Amino acid sequence: MVRTMPLMLQNIPTHVIAGPLGAGKTSLIKHLLAQRPANERWAVLINEFGQIGLDAALLTQDDDGIALGEVAGGCLCCVNGAPFQVGLGRLLRKAKPDRLFIEPSGLGHPAQLLKQLREAPWQNVLAVQPCVLVLDAEALAAGKPLPVAQQEALTSAGLLVLNKEEALDAAQRRAIEQQLPDCPLYWTRQAQVPLEQLPGLNAQAAAAVDNVDVPRGLAQMPAIWSDPAQPICLSQAQEGSWSIGWRWHPSLQFDAQRLQRWLASLGWRRAKLVIHSAEGWVSANAVDNSALAWQPSEWRRDSRIELIFSEPQDVSALQAALAACRH
């Protein structure tokens, strides 16, 4: 029996899941993916500030109906740039999805992204829905200002997800609501949101065609270790932040407790990691030097660690300390 490949749809419902660093965007997408109707194919395009790319690894699950793509190392709002054009085009051709989710970096500009997704070459390919803005309610209650780029996205939001609400009382909630525009709100914890709350959920893609023109280009080069004992290490500075990331060969193992103690000694803004530990594959995702909560992971391709700091760090010192955490 010959299996025919589905054609790419037009006007694919597209949901941008935006919000500042650490608000819970990836966690929200993970909960939404768990609610995917069995008869729909979904795709997720993830942008990260760092060069290594961790969110796809954190989202990895054994599901044929979900395809993940990444644009690492920069601002996904630069839609006219080649990495975004090629990354999105490749994902759409591969997945031929019924629904698309895009997660811009917490340091990106979602309002600009939304505008450009409605322009060439995407205007007949994607049907952009009102965006979902994930906010850290605990940070807002503490008086931490919302970054300007996220404030600009408030007016285009179809849903404001107020995450991390568990420690707030009624007065704090009212004070936060008074700061926000007139828009549907959903208070939650651990970024859990029912699928029926998603703006544009009832939108459906148009009939399939075989001549949709989406950008093409070379696929991202796979990781090649000239020495499996040494990591691939990339760092960059952008938008007032500095990131560094490592990819280690999957055969190497880390001591999770030693790694956790080392990370606790640093002053990072964000830490994401998926590692092959002596106890198996685990992941963690934390903000502002908070304690790591290890979770089992289905990722097996390599160990990945990404850190974001406010200022550049000594790369050699970081790399030596990380290498000392190997099992």
Residue 63 three-state SS: coil
Pairing status of strand 131-136 against strand 12-18 = parallel
Query: Among the ranges 147-156, 196-205, 291-300, which has the highest mean pLDDT value?
Result: 196-205
Report the CATH architecture of 10-209.
Answer: 3-Layer(aba) Sandwich (3.40)
Q: Span 193-208, mean pLDDT? A: 90
At residue 180, does pLDDT exceed 60? yes
Nearest Cα residue to 16 out of 93, 122, 121, 95:
122
Dist. CA 282–CA 273, nearest whole Å? 8
Nearest Cα residue to 86 out of 222, 219, 223, 213:
219
CATH numeric code, 232-323: 3.30.1220.10
Which residue reads 């698309």 in tokens?
100
Confidence at residue 1, expressed as pLDDT on a 0 to 100 scale:
38
Confidence at residue 5, expressed as pLDDT on a 0 to 100 scale:
46
At residue 55, does pLDDT exceed 80? no
Residue 309 three-state SS: strand
Please tell me the number of Cα atoms within 13 Å of 173 on its side-chain side. 14
At residue 202, does pLDDT exceed 80? yes
Residue 152 three-state SS: helix
| 83: confidence class by pLDDT, cuts 50, 70, 90 | low
Average pLDDT taken over every residue of the chain: 82
Can you list the positions of beta strands (E) in 91-142?
Answer: 99-103, 126-128, 131-136
Confidence at residue 128, expressed as pLDDT on a 0 to 100 scale:
94
| 209: confidence class by pLDDT, cuts 50, 70, 90 | low
7-21 in b/e form (b: 16+ CB < 10 A) is: ebbebbbbbbbbbbb
Preceding amide of 121 cis, omega within 30: yes
Dist. CA 263–CA 172, nearest whole Å? 32
Q: Span 299-313, mean pLDDT? A: 86
At residue 94, does pLDDT exceed 50? yes
Which residue reads 């768990």 in tokens?
34
Provide the 10 A C-beta neighbour count for residue 192. 16
Confidence at residue 274, expressed as pLDDT on a 0 to 100 scale:
86
Nearest Cα residue to 25 out of 53, 47, 52:
47
Confidence at residue 223, expressed as pLDDT on a 0 to 100 scale:
53
Which residue reads 């993970």 in tokens?
30
Pairing status of strand 303-309 against strand 270-277 = antiparallel
| 188: confidence class by pLDDT, cuts 50, 70, 90 | very high
Burial class (CB in 10 A: 0-12, 13-18, 19+), 199: middle
Q: Span 168-172, mean pLDDT? A: 95
At residue 304, does pLDDT exceed 90? no
73: left (phi over 0), alpha (psi -120 to 50) or beta: left
Alpha carbon of 201 to those of 26, 37, 100, 198, 293: distances in Å?
19, 11, 11, 6, 32
Query: Among the ranges 62-71, 209-218, 263-272, 293-302, which has the highest mean pLDDT value?
Result: 263-272
Dist. CA 298–CA 58, nearest whole Å? 9
Confidence at residue 86, expressed as pLDDT on a 0 to 100 scale:
74
What pLDDT digit, counting tens, does each position of 212-240 carry? Answer: 555 554 444 445 666 888 888 877 776 67
Of 70-74, 79-83, 195-199, 259-263, least confident by mean pLDDT is: 79-83
Confidence at residue 58, expressed as pLDDT on a 0 to 100 scale:
45
CB 36 within 8 A of CB 95: no
Note the Cα 322 to chain centre separation in Å. 24
At residue 73, does pLDDT exceed 70? no
Query: Among the ranges 40-49, 98-107, 195-204, which has the highest mean pLDDT value?
Result: 195-204
Backbone angles phi, psi at 124, to 5 degrees: -100, -5
Instruction: Copy the structure tokens of residue 142.
Output: 């503490």
Provide the 10 A C-beta neighbour count for residue 119. 10
Confidence at residue 214, expressed as pLDDT on a 0 to 100 scale:
56
Provide the residue ranges of all domains of the chain, joining segments of one domain with +. 10-209, 232-323
Q: Span 104-127, mean pLDDT? A: 83
